[in-house]
Amino acid sequence: MNKVKFVLFVAGISLALAFTLSCGGVDTDNQSSESGISSSSSRNNSSSSIVQSSSAVLKECDAVFNPDNKFCYDGVVYDKCGGKIYNPVTQGCLSGKVEEKCGSSLYKQATQFCYDNLIYAKCDGMEYSPAIYVCRNNVATPAKCGNESYNPLTQYCENGTVENRDFIDVRDGKKYKAIGIGTQVWMSENLNYEVTGSVCADEVPANCAKYGRLYDWKMAMALPDSCNNRWCFPPEKHRGICPSGWHLPSATEWGTLLGFVGESAGTKLKATDGWINNSIFYGNGTDYYGFAALPGGDGTSGLGTGSCGWWWTATEIKKEFYAYSRLIVGGTDVEGSESNKSGFHSVRCVKD
């Protein structure tokens, strides 16, 4: 009997323990549930941490910035454009408006269009194919030279004859483009022929390929060093360092160019578009001329590179240390200038 009682006692204890453990299990579940809330909270914190981490990944900018007026893209902080963010790879901010890029330059989509990574003015608000048409008096018409069609991107019309825009300077093998404007044929690139003493803008070699080389006056004229300090009275058509068949334009020849593309042959031309993004020269805002007045600035100082440029003429003035030059500044103004002959300017040649 005692054994039976003992067994029953043990069994009772086991049941009690089982019940206790079972309650402990319920409590554990409750604790798990509470812990689950805590875990949820922990997950929320983790989620918050992930969001913050994700945000940090998106920003990838070490600098602290105000997201109201700035944004971060690929580790760089940019100003918003009119309160908007944009993709700096394909877009940019121009006059407070998000515009697309054409190559590396921005253009105004309302008045311009992109063709083969070059920017062109719309013709009376319309886009056209620059390889087939030319815009004259706000009308896009097929490019004709006499009765012969031509490609304005690679050819031009001179006195009723189609000529190729590309030509090679046999002295160093460099290729240049030319363009017929009115009664003249101009190089549509700055000269990049190396002579002793010539320099690249800002002394950066890559700038020679972009802007051409810069020369003082006697270098540009291929005259003795003393000509920078006295009058040398060159002839009207003086080759200077231009390729064979070309010459350094006189002040009068520059005036002829400016007279054709806009105003009279005065000292200043106010063009509607000037050069677009410092790459393409437009005359009166309706006619397209591929003059490409890339602004190489003035010498090695970095003055004006990319925003203004000077071009030598072959014309001396009354001051013996000076010669006429042409200055294009701000993308719109083309004006006469008097430059000290020892300064460094770009050279643009005109065909004989």
Ordered by start, the domain boundaries in the chain are 165-351
| Residue 44 tokens, joined | 């929320």
328, β-bridge pairs: 309, 334
Q: Is 202 left (phi over 0), alpha (psi -120 to 50) or beta?
A: left
Q: What is the pLDDT of residue 298?
A: 77
Q: What is the pLDDT of residue 108?
A: 82
Report yes or no: 347 and 336 within 8 Å, Cβ to Cβ: no
| Residue 336 tokens, joined | 């006469």
Q: What is the pLDDT of residue 35?
A: 32
Q: What is the pLDDT of residue 281?
A: 40
Q: What is the pLDDT of residue 136?
A: 74
Q: What is the pLDDT of residue 39?
A: 33
Of 269, 314, 315, which Cα lies nearest the Cα of 293? 269
| Residuewise pLDDT in 10s, the chain (352 residues) | 444 344 334 344 443 333 333 333 333 333 333 333 233 333 333 333 323 333 444 557 988 899 999 999 989 999 999 999 999 999 999 889 999 988 777 888 888 888 887 777 788 889 999 889 887 777 888 988 888 999 888 888 877 889 888 899 999 999 998 888 778 889 988 999 999 999 999 888 999 988 899 999 999 999 999 999 999 988 888 999 999 999 999 999 988 887 766 544 444 444 434 443 333 343 333 344 667 777 788 776 667 787 778 899 999 987 888 999 988 765 556 677 889 999 999 999 999 9
CA distance 339 to 341: 6
Please state the pTM of the whole predicted model.
Answer: 0.63
